Amino acid sequence: MQRLLSLVLLGVLILVPGAAAAQEASLPPELAAELQALLQVTYESSDDLPGMVLLVDTEAGQFASAVGYANLENQVPLSVEHTFRIGSISKMMTAVLILQQAEEGVLSLDDPLAAWLPELAAALPHGEEITIRHLLNHSAGVAEYLANEVYYDDLLAQTRFEGGAARFDCGQEAESILRDYVLEMEPFFPPSESGDFEYSNSHYLLLGLILEAATGEPLATLYREWIFEPLGMTSSYTFCGEAPIGQLTHGYSELDGQVWDVVDFNDGGNLADGTVVSTAQDLLRFGQGLAAGELFEAEATLATMLADPFLNEYGLGVMVMDDLIGHSGGMVGYLSYLMVNLDSGAAIVLLVNTDITDPTDILWEANDLLIEYLDE
């Protein structure tokens, strides 16, 4: 993806035609035809790919395109206006909320976990040593709740499988997940200042609880008042935390050899590791707004967020690769990708409504087509 964005910075506008296109783009007909063929081959060669949305935004212009279906049963064509569960891209937003509260003096990045969640800090192995900063950059070492097989056993036991759909009701609570599935697990390591890193969704469950304890507000309100509304993200919301906005794309996942519609599978709802629902355009607004410093009062705050002290391409809730920042996301039935160039604001968003297959090779293949075209 980094090579792709490097080409975008040269002013090349990527066109990816599909079943629905948001706008026309002026590309040489032969290149446009090759990209269209690539997209169609990617889509048609996979029996497991319901649909995807690709958005590319550069100084030269923007192109957004969708291919496939938002609802396979009813054959509803996917459009760029459909919403998707964005999974761990939500972590970028959770980290922004923490940094905003630090700017307000509500909390400090070096506050110990015990300052806000004393009971959990006392119960967690090494909990008294953990700081907010450790949680943000995944150096706290807290065990991954998604790696606990009992969590999945309990999840499946509460799932209703009927009529080709898998349904799981809203109602998960971060503290209950931590107490029921994390406290019994071995930590990855003690909180580290020397480079130990282990990505753990449990870290962001704790950050969500800290935000609610520090502000007295629910997560849904914080995302809306501090991020969605300031950036004009009118199609974004937290599932299980707010009323739905727009038309949610049906996601598809496989279990025991059968593909299930998981649009009503609400695991992770209202949890700070992956609760946000959004569109490609709203994610573009977020990524570019963050890169431009629009979400913080001071430039130094963005610099703090992007600092990569362990050189592992992860700052505070954000992937950092030279001049590119972003995150990927995965939920049951959904995949998402956001990448923004800090210098130019060029950005790419890819949204997919399945977790059965990952079509991101199309980005590299499109990149190769562009390189070939530029070398002619």
Q: What is the CATH number of the domain that holds 200?
A: 3.40.710.10
Report if residue 249 sits inside a domain: yes
The residue segments making up the domain with residue 151 are 70-318+330-335+354-360
- Residue 89 has which token pair? 């891209």
Q: Assess if residue 284 is contained within a domain.
A: yes
Q: At residue 27, does pLDDT exceed 60?
A: no
351/353 Cα distance (integer angstroms): 7
Number of structural domains in the chain: 1
Locate 370 and state its tokens.
């562009």
Q: Are 129 and 190 in contact (CB under 8 A)?
A: yes
Instruction: Answer whether residue 310 is part of any domain.
Output: yes
Q: How far apart are CA 334 and CA 348, in angstroms?
A: 17
Q: What is the pLDDT of residue 22?
A: 38
Q: Which helix (H) or strand (E) holds 52?
A: strand 51-58
Q: What beta strand segments (E) does 96-221 contain? A: 160-162, 165-167
Whether residue 25 lies inside any domain: the answer is no
Closest CA to 142 of 108, 95, 191: 191
Is the Cα dihedral 248, 253, 255, 260 positive or negative?
A: positive
At 317-363, the pLDDT tens digits run 999 988 889 999 999 999 999 999 899 888 888 899 999 998 888 76
Q: What is the pLDDT of residues 161-198, one digit of tens each?
A: 999 999 999 999 999 999 999 999 999 999 988 789 99
Percentage of the chain surpassing pLDDT 70? 86
As a whole-number percent, the residues of the chain with pLDDT over 90 amount to 72
pLDDT for position 18: 37
Region of poorest pLDDT, from 42-51, 91-100, 200-209, 362-371? 362-371
Is the pTM higher than 0.75? The answer reads yes
Q: Is residue 34 part of a domain?
A: no
Mean pLDDT of 266-272: 92
Is there a domain that residue 56 lies in?
A: no
- Residue pair 336/350 in contact (Cβ under 8 Å)? The answer is yes
From the list 73, 67, 83, 71, the residue with the least C-alpha distance to 242 is 83
Q: Could you report the per-residue pLDDT of 226-236, keeping only the tens digit for each? A: 999 999 999 99
pLDDT digits (tens, 9 = 90+) for 219-265: 999 999 999 999 999 999 999 999 999 999 999 999 999 999 999 99
What secondary structure, in 3-state letters, does 66-101 show? EEEEEECCCCEECCCCCEEECCCHHHHHHHHHHHHH
The residue ranking higher by pLDDT, 288 or 350, is 288
CA triplet 63, 336, 151: central angle to 5 degrees? 170
Query: What is the chain's percent helix, strand, coil content, to nearest 5?
Result: 35, 20, 40
- Give residue 368's pLDDT band: very low, low, confident or very high (50, 70, 90): low
Give me the pLDDT at residue 16, please: 33
CB neighbour list of residue 346: distance below 8 Å, 6 or more residues apart = 5, 8, 9, 56, 57, 58, 59, 340
Identify whether 303 is part of a domain. yes
Is there a domain that residue 61 lies in? no
The mean pLDDT of the chain is 88
